[in-house]
Structure 1
């Protein structure tokens, strides 16, 4: 069995009882960053073998991991925060496991974009999730495509690129397009700032930005 186990995006109390139970019983835990996961396991008083699984090694070790699963090992995959496979490694292993006839189970749990979307005050009944925008190749093409997207758009961004990205959005989507920026979700200094893109640029230019960022952008209303 391969378990996909969501971990807290900030507040450690957000882990589920079932997630704790799985982490206590598996033979091996695959972690995006073993140092980050070790802190969580220490908090939960769980001692289990940890092995790194990230974008730099997943192609090389996926076959070995599937072989272990086929031999009967119970393995849990976690990311640094949130649900594995959502803008994090996971897809390759899940696909390979399914193709090999290994049972895969994904536990429900924390992910950053859901609370950011619901808290944005923008329509949440229809949305598209784009994750991180390409840094260079394909970035302009995707932004031009999203200009006419009518659904609410959700993106991830790093703190040091936030203002630059918001300014790009002003260029492509217009200064008056509504948006919401959420950062440090579930943590002590959580912030959810809503307004027009122009207002958000002014707000975040005037401060030092820290933490993981979720941008929720209003869809196009032009017909």
Structure 2
């Protein structure tokens, strides 16, 4: 992982940002199709994609460090069914989402927190501590996620920014994934029970239906 300071390209005054370049450091992934989990009324379906480095053990129910995890949520058209389409997905502004109908196809759910302290949406989490809790370091507020497909192989390119904590995260991941159908059962997968700041981040379906920021 490469850390360096970059300058905000927006309006002055310029601000110092930390850029996390993961490159091809993420080597494993979990893809889950969750259908219309946000009750958009037919506007979109939702995908949960968790990418991690080799130190993360996805077989454990409670994930602990060390390791790095990128949690993505992508919205696709109902007409795509249970197929993840290729294309560019844009991160929605978290302050402009007022209803589930805002989750249009080819958008990314930003990094959000529910009232119970759980997180959902798109986050970068990491810890270098053996057995330590994963810390939420970057909640996506803007940026893009690009999905490319060749046969059964997917390449995920991501570049997301958190303006509150002044950090951006980018990288790429290529895999022929196993895709879990989250609409077929109610079992919570291990990636939805990470821990951060001493609290369990239970990314259950009920938490992901919480009202969005206004």
TM-score normalised by the shorter chain: which range applies? under 0.3
Question: Which protein has the bigger helix share?
Answer: 1
TM-score, reference length from structure 2: 0.24
TM-score, reference length from structure 1: 0.23
The structure number with the bigger radius of gyration is 1
Question: Which protein has the bigger strand share?
Answer: 2
